[in-house]
Amino acid sequence: ARPVPGLDLGAALTFTDSQVQRFSGVGQNGLTADFAGSAFPYSPRWQAVADASYEWSIGADRRAFVSGNLTHRSATNASLGDDPELRLRPYVTLDLRAGLRAADGRWSLSVFGRNVTNVYYWNNMFRFVDTRIRIAARPVSYGLTLAIRR
């Protein structure tokens, strides 16, 4: 949506209801199991994203911009069978960006922050024999981007 000139708003919501119809196999614990009825791994029921950006002129040949992005994912599981020890918790992250660019798009300079609230969450995990391995997502990170187009 563009409620006023220079302001762009966007949002998306996804609902997933995945379910194994019929399948028996070996689970993460090494035992044979019937997985019928369990959700697919890495398929959160809800995912949502909202973003906003605003751009304005700061002279005849330059523009400034700011933007933000909020992402939510509900809980899911890292394996078939809905093993509570391999549950990936829900999380919400916030990314921000601000910068300057040429009005003709030939160059831009921006600073960004990803996961600026420094939310700690796992984006993967698995079991190996008697060990659970959890892969943490990236912590807060900041950077600078310079783009030049010919």
d(CA 43, CA 78) in angstroms, rounded, equals 9
Tokens linked to 25: 């196999």
| % of residues, the chain, pLDDT over 90 | 72
Model pLDDT, residue 53? 98
- pLDDT at residue 113, rounded to an integer: 98
State both tokens at 32.
């044979």
pLDDT mean over 98-119: 96
21-67 per-position pLDDT tens digit: 988 887 777 778 888 888 899 999 999 999 999 999 998 899 999 99
According to DSSP, residue 6 is labeled: T
